[in-house]
Amino acid sequence: MKKITTLLPAFAIAASLACSGANVNYKVTGKNAPKDGAAVQLIDRLSGSAINSAVVSKGSFELKGKAEKDAFLTVVVDGVEWNFQFFNDGKPVQLNVADSSLTGSALNTKLSDCVLKNAAAYAEYNDFIEAFTALPGEEQEARIDEFMAQYRTRIKAYADFYRGLVEANRDNLIPVAFIEHYPQVISAANEWDKAKGDKVFSDLLASDSPAARHPFVLDFKRKMDEADAMRAAEEARRREAAASSSALVGQKFRDLEEPDVNGRMHKLSEYVGRGKWVLVDFWAAWCNPCKVEMPNVVAAYKKYHSKGFEVVGLSFDRNKEDWVAAIRDWEMPWIHLSDLKYWQTAAAGVYSVTAIPDNLLISPDGTVVARGLRGAALEAMLAEIFK
């Protein structure tokens, strides 16, 4: 990362010189839009703001004006899920809203093809996950090992595709359109190893690819640096919190109060320290690792609930509808509490939670006996307790 930082000022100067005063005309025509009267906006991806607008008439629209040469732009049609991306290279662009295609210069036509191929590859990967999570809880439990093996294979295949797409276009600007997700996709395919994601990005930025000098990429680099600085500060706080959280093991649980899905307030002490083993589970509907882990918790609950095992879910959600839907769709039949304050939730402060999924296993007398039990570790602990 230090190497990138030293190169960044030179790149930034080159980019600013290349873009200063170099405005060129753009002309975007669209056809087969589904709804007359729908608003159309042209978004500058660097600033995130609309630079032009139009209204659909008889299924068509037109956008004309000037913008910086090679600016990364997106057309958004109200009521249409698909967004159309292109670079302002001065060549007219034609959009077909019906089939999500874009034609224009050789660069923009190729970009459209890459975007469509990526959408198809991602849909195949995402459909696999959604198909599994839609299964009944019992079937998820029975097939979790099979799912995880296939999941690792599929995320690696998608990452290989994504990397190949970027690498094959090192000689043009197309990587700009994929840069925001590039490090994350690579790290996800490597057991969320952030260093591997950072490396593919740093390799691109240090190369002679025109994408490396694009203002959108340089701005993304700035945001990554800011995020890394915040992460370092958070890690320092986390280490301090970890010392506090590890001290919880062997201590009595700490009480808190949050509302249930119906808005009724409940104290944790209503469920903990009352003669049963209780897993206090920290999770959220937006947390994909939580979604992957939850079948293990559901399986443990079904296996040991009749023997005196309970679960209390403390959610880090902020959207009630998403929270309630996840409880239903993930088939979690235990009590759920949340103040819907995201990372500012009471549970985070009381129990020094800095990442989810996380949990506490609490004995019948209210003593915390373990933390962070996942998968086989949770099953092994409960099997020993209820043998």
Q: How many domains does the chain have?
A: 3
Output the CA–CA distances (angstroms, integers) from residue 138 to 1, 239, 297, 357, in the order listed.
Answer: 46, 38, 12, 21
Say how far apart CA 232 and CA 236 lie, in whole Å.
6
> Which one of 208, 242, 276 terminates a domain?
242
Write b or e for each residue in 47-81: b if 16 or more Cβ atoms lie within 10 A of its Cβ, otherwise e: eeeebbebebeeeebebeeebbbbbbbbbebeebe
Does residue 2 lie within any of the structural domains?
no
Quick: pLDDT tens for 121-133: 999 999 999 999 9
Quick: pLDDT tens for 65-117: 999 999 999 999 999 999 999 999 999 999 999 999 999 999 999 999 999 99
Sheet of strand 39-44: strand arrangement:
49-55, 39-44, 72-77, 83-87
Residue 233 confidence (pLDDT):
81
Instruction: Verify that 368 and 297 share a domain, yes or no.
Output: yes
Residue 150 confidence (pLDDT):
94
**CA-wise closest residue to 68 among 29, 119, 22:** 22
Does residue 1 lie within any of the structural domains?
no
Give the list of residues 6+ apart from residue 260 with CB closer than 8 angstroms, or none.
266, 335, 336, 337
For tokens 């302002």, name the residue. 88
Instruction: Verify that 66 and 48 share a domain, yes or no.
Output: yes
Q: In CATH, what number is assigned to the domain containing residue 355? A: 3.40.30.10
> Which one of 220, 242, 264 terminates a domain?
242
Q: Residue 82's Cα: distance from chain center in Å?
A: 19
Instruction: Verify that 221 and 262 share a domain, yes or no.
Output: no
Instruction: Verify that 133 and 90 share a domain, yes or no.
Output: no
Does residue 294 lie within any of the structural domains?
yes
* Residue 65 main-chain phi, psi, to 5 deg: 170, -160
Instruction: Verify that 143 and 234 share a domain, yes or no.
Output: yes
Q: In CATH, what number is assigned to the domain containing residue 48? A: 2.60.40.10
Instruction: Verify that 342 and 365 share a domain, yes or no.
Output: yes
Please give the chain's pLDDT, 387 residues, in tens.
323 222 333 333 333 333 444 899 999 999 999 999 999 999 999 999 999 999 999 999 999 999 999 999 999 999 999 999 999 999 999 999 999 999 999 999 999 999 999 999 999 999 999 999 999 988 998 999 999 999 999 999 999 999 999 999 999 999 999 999 999 999 999 988 999 999 999 999 999 999 999 999 999 999 999 988 987 887 776 666 556 556 688 889 999 999 999 999 999 999 999 999 999 999 999 999 999 999 999 999 999 999 999 999 999 999 999 999 999 999 999 999 999 999 999 999 899 888 899 999 999 999 999 998 988 899 999 999 998
Instruction: Verify that 257 and 192 share a domain, yes or no.
Output: no
> Which one of 242, 275, 310 terminates a domain?
242
Residue 230 confidence (pLDDT):
85
Say how far apart CA 74 and CA 101 lie, in whole Å.
13
Instruction: Verify that 42 and 85 share a domain, yes or no.
Output: yes
Does residue 276 lie within any of the structural domains?
yes
Does residue 3 lie within any of the structural domains?
no
Instruction: Verify that 230 and 274 share a domain, yes or no.
Output: no
Instruction: Verify that 199 and 181 share a domain, yes or no.
Output: yes
HSE of 257, CA atoms in CB hemisphere, 13 A: 5
Range(s) of the domain holding residue 264: 248-385
Does residue 4 lie within any of the structural domains?
no
Q: What DSSP string describes 155-207?
A: HHHHHHHHHHHHHTTTTSSGGGGGTTTHHHHHHHHTTT-HHHHHHHHHHHHTS
Instruction: Verify that 256 and 215 share a domain, yes or no.
Output: no
Instruction: Verify that 295 and 199 share a domain, yes or no.
Output: no
